[in-house]
Copies of this chain bind each other. A is one copy, B any other.
Amino acid sequence: MAKLKIGKLVVIGVGLIGGSFALALKRARVVKHVVGVGRTRRNLSTARRLKVIDEMRSDAGRAVRDADLVLLAMPVGQMAAVMAAIAPYLPPHAAVTDGGSTKRDVVACARRFQGGHYRRFVPAHPIAGTEKSGAAAGFPELYRDRCVILTPQPETDVDALRLVKRAWTTCGARVVTLGAEEHDGIFAAVSHLPHVVAFALVNALAHRRDARRLFGFSGAGLRDTVRIAGSSPEMWADICIANRDMLLATLDDYEDAFEEARAAIEQGDAEALKRLFARARAAREKWLLKRS
Contacts and interface: CB of A to CB of B under 8 A. Distances in A.
Interface string A227-253: 111110110111011001001101101
A256 interface: yes
Interface residues of A, number: 92
Chain A interface mostly: helix
A204 B250 contact: yes
A228 B201 CA distance: 14
A250 B219 CA distance: 17
A179 to B, nearest CB: 13
Interface stretch (A80-88, A165-173, A261-269): A261-269
A228 to B, nearest CB: 5
A119 interface: no
A93 interface: no
Contacts of A214: 186, 189-190
Given A199-B277, A273-B240, A287 B254 contact: no
Contacts of A201: 193-194, 197, 254, 257
A280 B203 contact: yes
Contacts of A221: 129, 191, 194-195, 227-228
Contact of A211 (B191, B197, B283): B283
A234 B272 CA distance: 11
A169 to B, nearest CB: 18
A270 interface: yes
A242 to B, nearest CB: 9
A268 to B, nearest CB: 6
A77 interface: yes
Contacts of A237: 270-271, 273-274, 277
B222 A225 contact: no
Nearest to A226: B284
A246 to B, nearest CB: 11
A268 B287 contact: no
Contacts of A197: 197, 201, 225, 258
A175 interface: no
A216 interface: yes
Contacts of A278: 233
A225 B280 contact: no
Contacts of A250: 204
Given A237-B274, A238-B270, A247-B265, A224 B227 contact: yes
A194 B255 CA distance: 15
Give 4 nearest A-B pairs by CB, closest first.
A215-B287, A206-B283, A233-B277, A237-B274
5 contacts: A186-B214, A187-B217, A189-B204, A202-B280, A204-B253
